[in-house]
Amino acid sequence: MALDQPASTMLPFVKGDVFAGATLLNNPNDDHAGAGRILQYDADLNEKGVLWVTGTTHLVGGLTFAPDETMWAFDNLAWQVVRVGREGKQKDVTRLVERAVGKVLFLPNGNYVLSEYFKGTAQPKGLSTRYKYLPDHPDQVGMGGLYEFTAEGKPVHVHYPEVSGGVSGSMAITHAALGSDGKTLIYTSETGLRVMRYDLSARKQLPDLKVLAPSQGGPPAMVFDVACSGARVLLPLGNRLEVLGEDGSEIAKVPLPGFGWAIVAASFDSNVAYAGNWFTGDVVKVSLNDGAVSAKINVGPKRIAGLAQFKG
């Protein structure tokens, strides 16, 4: 812990706790760099504690719980994996692949898959942050792979599904969730138009779940995060939260105020979800039945990079 970094106060995880990756972006030379921080709330978004992450340099997001109830989180720009035990203490920070990782998916057979955040050569425009180049492909910022391992960390296979690139052209598998069959990966390339699917068992691309129509004025059409709640797919689409069936059918559209809703977490309560707004920093607990917001907090603008609820 840095000498000027506050003490962590994160408590042992309790069923229903909500966690938000909300890094303090306090580096004047890099707009995605700063002190890593994971905030802890109860199910109604009452603050409980904070973990000041050690060993990271940039946005910490992609929060996911493993079968052993360890929280995994990712600094994709520093290629670091953070793991936090159920007691609320950071276990380690490590690099599992020489790649930028956005998410981990735990499969029913005990294997896990790491999704690669970038593909191609493009660097971001309009940002001061820079993407790292690969040691084995020094002209590339990523290859867009899915890296599958056994539970013990032995490499199994590298999958290369389709990606859409997003606005920057270099976005790969930035956000992902596992479908109810335990083998279908549902994923996005942030700021693109496609919600894609890939069969991890058969190792083949599937038809897209949804493709947004290009914007014709008004808010831009973009996909961001994705979460699965049973056999339903949750998509934050800037100014709303859409609920789809796993066949792509529309179940509900939940309007949200303003624009910037880019982060979502499913709840053990299938009637609600948690959504985060990148621009404002608002996080809400919202009903999927009528759109009512029952709780709201603010973590600060342009710093939220992941939400997850501990289901116990």
Q: Nearest-5° angle of CA 6, CA 2, CA 31?
A: 90
Q: How many residues belong to the chain? A: 312
The stretches of the chain forming alpha helices (DSSP H) are none
| Number of helical (H) and strand (E) elements in the chain, helices listed first | 0, 26
CA neighbor of 79 nearest in space, from 93, 91, 65, 64: 93
Encoded tokens for 83: 């793991």
d(CA 248, CA 125): 33
Let me know if residue 99 belongs to a domain: yes
- Amino acid making up residue 149: F
- Following CA atoms 183, 186, 189, 195 in sequence, which dihedral angle do they give, to the nearest 10 degrees? 140
Let me know if residue 76 belongs to a domain: yes
pLDDT at 1: 45
SS3 (DSSP) at 81 = strand
CA neighbor of 307 nearest in space, from 22, 105, 58: 22
pLDDT at 5: 74
121 phi, psi to nearest 5 deg: -120, -10
pLDDT at 218: 81
Let me know if residue 239 belongs to a domain: yes
Let me know if residue 5 belongs to a domain: no
Encoded tokens for 294: 């029952």
Judging by DSSP bridges, how do beta strands 155-159 and 175-178 pair with one another?
unpaired
Let me know if residue 13 belongs to a domain: no
Let me know if residue 6 belongs to a domain: no
Let me know if residue 8 belongs to a domain: no
pTM: 0.96
Query: How confident is the chain (312 residues) per 10-residue block, as mean pLDDT?
Result: 76 98 95 97 98 97 98 98 98 97 97 98 94 97 98 97 96 98 98 98 98 89 97 97 97 96 97 97 97 97 97 92
Sorted by sequence, the CB contacts under 8 Å of residue 189 that are 6+ apart come out as: 163, 164, 165, 166, 171, 172, 173, 174, 196, 223
The CATH number for 43's domain is 2.130.10.10
Q: Which domain holds residue 165?
A: 18-309
The answer to whether 36 touches 26, Cβ cutoff 8 Å, is no
Encoded tokens for 19: 């966690």
Let me know if residue 169 belongs to a domain: yes
What single-letter DSSP state applies at residue 108? T
Domains: count for the chain:
1
